[in-house]
Structures are given as structure tokens and as C-alpha cells.
Amino acid sequence: MNFKFEVKHKLEGTLARSGVIYTPHGNIKTPAFIIGGTKATVKALTNNQIKDVNAQALLANTYHLMLQPGADIIQKAGGLSRFMNLDMPTFTDSGGFQVFSLGMAYKKGIDLTSNSKKGDPTTARHSKTQLAKVNDKGVIFKSHLDGQKLEMTPVSSMQLQHKIGADIIFAFDELTSPLSSRKNIEIALERTHKWALKSLEEHQKLNSKQKNYQALFGIVQGARELDLREKSAKYLNSLDFDGFGIGGIFEPEEIPQILNIVDPLLNENKPRHLLGMGSQPLDLFLAIEYGIDTFDCVAPTRQARNGALYTKYGRINIKNAKYKDNFNSLDKDCKCYTCSNFSLAYLHHLYHSREILASTLGSIHNEYFIINLVDLIRESIENETFFIFKDKFLNKYYSKDS
């Protein structure tokens, strides 16, 4: 089966909709949270556990797979799904995020959230410590594993992603720092648009030679400059992409502002993916309300490994002493394996003992919590109770400090 997207229901007065993405490896009911599997694995989870948390699809990272085990190995195995023995649709990002994380942001404490910077991204400059440097052709990398010098371009990114064989892939782009100057954002956006066209040309050439159709999404950039977001959306919509990614949204409060400009300019019959955001319920509700169909984030498993677990009353730190002799489940209404079988006291013990099982049980719960929440949001769109459900859930979740 080739790629197809079908809108099933629209929520009046909003950009929210439910639908289905059809891919060669299965269908995705949207809106959907795409589970993060950076290195062809969801950390601490087996394939059965991935399915048990009701994940519909997985997103892996092109840069990391390029280094280990190598795109050629995955291609020889029959593609990402077969290599993982995971019978579900897969996504791969383009490697563009590494332009940011291994470049200007490297060892400066700068990430996508401006509040968590240790340095000032507006003053970041190329330095000898950086592992990635950008030019108009592409990105020069030094492998974080062995220091080997590598280059990624729009053409090579497409070649790598086609070898990896994910159902949905992304055009190569440049992600800017949250506080970059307007001039630097403009330069990066022009580069992203040129790379988008080159990515599309190479993708179409490769797609014409293979059996399974891979869908390519163009990525809307522009940081916090709304006129540049508009320019980017219009340009990418003029090209023959199968869908769109929206990159570089830094704070939840920016979601309505940016998506309200971007999404109406994109073909409504093509899916929209919000890249790297979806670790908080507020993110999910806002993204869906303003027209996002899929999103990904590695935070649920990362936070679980550090003892931060989601509950309907907010996030808790399971390592806190008050859980040492609490024999209740984490959430009595949750149907995940962890909540159905183990107490808060046992989880507290596992984390303090630094047992591997702690990461597994915590990740099962966090992934189930987020995926199930998105499933419930989808149901609320279809039965026209979205705003009632949103208010009820968020009021409870953010009712107290956890």
C-alpha cells in the first residue's frame, strides 16, 4: 500500500481533526503520539512492551543509526521495521536536529527551551569543541563515538533514510537556537528551503526505484519570527511533499501563536507532525487543538529513567521518601502493566536500588500515560467533547505541585 492520509472528523471552531495515515507497514489513527526509538529501540522496553502501551508507530534518529549499526546493515536486514522485528509504521528524522545539538549548542547548556540554558545562545560561535559545523552544502560532523569526520547533505540524508526504510521520513533542515538573531534565522531558513527542494528531488528519484513507497515531509522553520513561519509554510506547501513537520517550537505558549499561522497555509489533506514536543499534557492538547496530527518526544522514557512518573494529578518523583511505605498503585485507574501489578513502595525500592527494572516499569507507565491520553483526546474530538475533556483533565493535572 502507498502512503495516504484521510481526515475523518473536524472539530468545529478549531484546527483539530481526527483521521488515519495509511502506510505500507500499517495504519496510524490520528492524532497520535509517536513513540521515540532513537537507536532502533525504545530504551528499556521490549517490542511486546511497546505494543502493550498501545504505540502505533515509532520514530528513530538518522544520525545515530548512520553511526550504529549503519544504514547499509539496516537495509540488508530489510529495513527498520524488519531489523527491529517491529510490525508497525516507522518514522526517521533527517539528522537536522544534530545540526543544533552538536553545533552551536554543544557543551553550552543550550537546548530547545530557553529557560534551561546555561549560556547565551545569541553569542554562540563556532568553536573547536563543536561536533557539527554548517555550510550551504550541508553539515560536517565529527562522530561523538570516535571522532570520525562525516558529512551530511540533503542528498545523503535522503539516501540514508531510504536505506533505513522508514515509512515516513523528513527533509534535511537546519534548526536554529531559540534566541538566535533575526539575521541568523533568515539565513538558516533560506538554507532549509534550498535543502528541502534538494531533499525532495533526491527522494523522488529514489522512490521511483523501490517497491515500498516512503512518504517525505517538509519541515516548516522560522523560530519565533511569525512572518518567517508564514513564508516557510507557503513555500513548503508549494512543493510536492506528502506531509509537513513543524520544527523549532520552544515553549507551550508559542504553540497556538505559531500553529495558527502555519497550519491554515498547509494543505489540509496532508498530515502535520510537531517535531520533538509532547512530554506534557498541555503540549498535547494545544498541538491537537491547533491542527497537529502526530508528534514525537523521547521525554517519557528519559524522565522515567530519572524517577519522574506521570499521574492524573501531575508528575511525581518516585524517589521521594513519602513513597517508601505506600503500597497503593501509582494510578488505580491506569491499565498499564506497571500500575496493574506493582505498588509505589516497590517502584521506590527499585529506583533507590538502581535496578534495571525500575527504568522498564517507569517507562511502561509513562509511555502508556501519554499514548492513552492522546487516544482519549482523539475520542473527544470525534464525540465533540474535546473542550470538556481538556478542562477537566488539565485542571486536575495542574491542580498542585508534584
Its sign, for the CA torsion 159, 153, 247, 196, is negative
Cell of 76: 540488508
Angle at 276 between CA 193 and CA 21, to 5 degrees: 80
325 is catalytic: no
Distance CA 383, CA 44 (A): 36
Distance CA 147, CA 142 (A): 5
* Length, in residues, of the chain: 402
Distance CA 144, CA 132 (A): 10
Burial class of residue 160 in the structure, from the number of CB atoms within 10 Å of its CB (0-12 exposed, 13-18 middle, 19+ buried): buried
333 is catalytic: no
Distance CA 218, CA 243 (A): 7
- For 173, the 3-state DSSP assignment is coil
Distance CA 161, CA 264 (A): 29
399: number of Cβ within 10 Å? 11
195 backbone φψ class: left, alpha, beta (φ>0; ψ -120 to 50): alpha
Query: Of residues 173, 242, 283, 296, which has the active-site annotation?
Result: 296
CA-to-CA dists, residue 174 to 129, 194, 225, angstroms: 19, 11, 15
242: number of Cβ within 10 Å? 23
67: number of Cβ within 10 Å? 18
Q: Are 101 and 203 in contact (CB under 8 A)?
A: no
CA-to-CA dists, residue 78 to 91, 178, 382, angstroms: 15, 38, 37
Distance of CA 142 to the CA centre of its chain: 24
Helix spans in 265-298 (H): 281-289
Query: Of residues 93, 167, 242, 263, which has the active-site annotation?
Result: 93
Active-site annotation, residues? 93, 296
